[in-house]
Structure 1
Amino acid sequence: MDEVIKIINDLKAGTIKPIYFLMGEEPYYIDKLTEYIENTILTEEEKGFNQTIIYGRDTTIEDVISNSKRYPMMAERQVVVVREAQELSRTIDKLEAYAENPQLTTVLVFAYKYKTLDKRKKLVKLIAKHGVLFESKKMYDNQVGAWINKLLQGRGYLIEPKANAMLVEFLGNDLSRISNELEKLQIILPKGHTISANDIEYNIGFSKDFNVFELQNAIGSKNQLKAYQIAQYFAENPKDNPMVVTVSLVFSFFVKILKYHGLKDKNPKTVAPILGVSPFFMKDYDLALRNYPMKKVSSIIASLRDIDVKSKGVGANALPSHDLLKEMLVSIFS
C-alpha cells in the first residue's frame, strides 16, 4: 500500500511518467491506480479527444504503440489505458522499442492483471527506467484484517474485531470484494460509525451466530450444544456453507492449536503473529489450548483429513453434509 500511496502522491505533485505498467496477482490496486489515472490526469473537456481506453483482447501491441505515438489535441498530454493487458502477454516484448523511447506527452497505462513480466528481460528494465513498474502482490489472509482497519480509517470508519474477522472469514483475501461490501455499508452507515457484527449480518448477509468463526469458538470452548446447532444450520444451508470449506477452516484452526502447543514462548503478543491471528482472539486460542492436549489435537487433525477426503466424494459414497458434520464433531468431542 505504501508504494500505491507514493505513486498517487507523485501524480498529485505533477510527477507524471510516460509509462505505468501495473501488474500482479492482486487486481484491486491495479484497478484503483488505473482508475485514479483515468480520472485525474485530464480534465473532463480534455478527455474527449485525449483519453483512449483499449482492451487487450481487442487490440495488438502495434495498435497500442500507434495510439501512444499520437500527439495530444489542445491538451498537455493524452492518456492511453490498456485494460486486461495480460491478453497481450505473448507479444508484450514488442513494447521494448517504445519503452526505450516513450512519447513524453503520452501517459500509457497497462493494467496487466494476474500475471507479471519476467524481471530478467530488458523490457522490465526499460519500463522501470522511464516509467513506473508496479507489482500488486496477493495479500496473505493474516494481513487482510489490518488492511481492512487501515482502509476504513482512511474512509472515516472503525470496525469491531469480530466484524473484521467475519469479513476475512467469508471473503478471504479478495480485496476488491471486501472493498465493495464496505462501500455498501458506507452508504447506509454515518461517518465515524464503528461497524459491528450486527451491521455485517443485516446488511451483507453473513450470520453472526451461525458461521465457521462461531463454530470454531464453540469447538474451542467445548460448547457441544452450540457446535451441533451450527452444524445443523450448515446442513440446512449447504450452498452458503460448503462442507469442503467448513472442514478446511476447522482443520486450519487445529493446525494453529498444534503449532501453539509447540511454542515455548506463549506470550500472546509473540504468539498472535506466528499463528496469523488477531491478538484480540488469543483468549479463544488459549481456551482451546487448555481444552485440547497436543495428542488429542494430532488425533483430530488426522480425523479431519479423512473427513476432508470424504467431503470430496472419495470412498464415502457421497455422504450428506449432515452426516459428515456430525462425524467431524464426534471425532473432535469424543
Structure 2
Amino acid sequence: MSNRSPLFFLLVGDPFLRQRKIEFLIKKLIPSEKHLYEILKIDLKETSLDSLIGQARSFSMMAEKQIFLVREPKELKKDDCERLEAYMKKPADWSYLLFEADQLDERHGLQALMKKYGEKIVCDMNDKRRDLDLLHQKIKQENRQMTREAWQLLEERTGGHLTLMDACIEKLLIYVSEKDVIDAPAVLQLSDKLLAYDTFDLTNAIAEKNPKKALEVFEYLYQLEGSGIGVIGLINWQLKRLWQAKVIAKEKGERAVGQNLRISPYRLSGFLRQMASFQLTELEHAFDELFDLDWKLKTGTLNGRIALEAFIVSLASPRQRTPALSV
C-alpha cells in the first residue's frame, strides 16, 4: 500500500462509538474546506456488491468525492470477496468504502482484504476510556486537578460527548486559572453558560409528559449535534442509564444507584425522580423504537429531523403510542 490514506475501512463494534469514528474519519479524509463530498448508504442485504462497485467507479456529478457507508458486510460470500479484491487492486480514487458492523467473524474474507488493502477500526468502550484518559492528561499537563464529582457532572452535562467535554475542559482551564482544582460548582457554572439544555432535560420533559418542552430541548440538541444520529446517541446514553438505574434500585435499593452509575450528587435527586417516572417496559420499548429509528436514518429511508420529532412527541405524550415514522 502507498503512504496515502487508504480508500477502504472496516469499522466494527459499538454503534454509537462507531458513528463517532465515522464522523471523525470523514473529517480527516476529506476536509470540508477542500472538497465537496457525497455520502451514500448501502445495505448489502438489499444491494448487490456489483451495484456497489459500479457506483464506486462512477464519478459523482454532485461532488468531487464519494463516501459509501456499507452495512451488513457479513453478506459478502467468497466469490464476492474475490470480485471486491479485483476492485481494490484498481480502485476509483474518488470513492471511499466504509464497511461497518457490530461484529464480523475474523475468518470472513473481508478481514483479510482489510489487512492487505485497507484499515480495520475496532470501536469498543476501551476506545472511549483511552479518549477520556487523554482529557485527563490535558488537565494534568496544565498542572490542574479535577475532582471526581466535577468529572461526573461534566460527563452528565455533555452526555459523555467527547468533543463537548474537550471544549468544556478548554474553557475550564481558563475559567479556573487562579485555582489548582476544578470542582463541581465550577463545572456547573460554566456548563450552564455553554449548554442551554442537555439530555437530562430532554428525558425529564419526556418523564413529565411535556411534548412542547421535549421538542424545544430536542431542537437545541439537534442543532448542537448537527445530525439526527448524534442526537440518537445522546438519547440512548441517558435512557440506558435510566434502565440500569431501575435494575440496580430493584436489586440493591436507590442508595446504590448513584455509586454504581457515578451520578453526581448535584444531579442525583433529580435523576432518581426521573427514574421513578419510567417503567422498565416503557424504557425497553423506547430502546426498540430507537434502534429501529437509528437503522432507518442510517439507510436513508427516513427524514431524520421529522422522524425524531415524531419519536420524541410519542414518548412525551400522556398516552404512549407507536411513533408515526412513515414520512
Greater Cα radius of gyration, structure 1 or 2:
1
TM-score w.r.t. length of structure 1: 0.44
